[in-house]
Amino acid sequence: MRIAILMSLIGSVLFGCSGSGQPGTNGNDGGATQSPSANSVPTISGNPSPGIKFNETYSFKPDAADADADVVTFKIQNKPDWATFNPTTGLIYGRPTLGDVGLYDGIIISVSDGKSSASLPSFSIAVSQSALGAVTLNWNPPTQNADGSPLRDLAGYKIYYRRNSGSYNQGIRIGNPGITTYVVDNLSPGTYYFSATAFNASGLESFFSAEIVRTVD
């Protein structure tokens, strides 16, 4: 069953479900590959901050686990030059300077137990010269599926956003259905496009809500 979700900025009217979107693919349920053996695939999750002002410290450490208690290691793709990465813990950290101002895109952190691997969705880090801003979003909890049947197993939401046209490249997973307000912070100045989905206990995700736009000065 598809779920209908409404989302808005605080102080604005609600937007209805677009009905034409597809379930999101950039949430924080990282992609995984599994070998034919009985080995359990490690899991990885987390919401990396999308931006930082230069001369401030950036730090993000994903949550990872392995059901077999195997020792896991981490890898990173497209690491910014100003950042350091710890393959034992998955921690990425650094203090960009004025010369590092810009957008660092396509960053992927993955975890492996030596047999199987999983990764976070690709994310970006914007290093800004100006003060960072925030956008507050709120929404109405959905009460029914898209076919009109009652929704009885709502499990949470996913917020997606981007800075220009194309697919969403940032995703935030909210695993608490009781939360109906979320502040997306550490945003560098610019225009952002937001949409949201809801998901049920089986992990089935709704269509995207209608997109809303907010400019951060």
Look at residue 42 in the predicted model and tell me its pLDDT: 96
| pTM for the full predicted model | 0.66
pLDDT digits (tens, 9 = 90+) for 50-64: 999 999 999 999 999
To the nearest whole percent, how much of the chain has pLDDT over 70?
A: 82
pLDDT digits (tens, 9 = 90+) for 89-130: 999 999 999 999 999 999 999 999 999 999 999 999 999 998
Mean pLDDT score, 46-51: 91
Give the Å distances, CA to CA, from 28 to 130, 163, 180: 28, 19, 18
Task: Kindly list the structural domains of the chain, giving each domain's residue range(s) and its CATH number in brackets, ordered by start.
Answer: 6-29+131-216 (2.60.40.10), 38-127 (2.60.40.60)
Is residue 20 pLDDT above 90, yes or no? no
Look at residue 36 in the predicted model and tell me its pLDDT: 52
| Bridge partners for 118 per DSSP | 32, 111
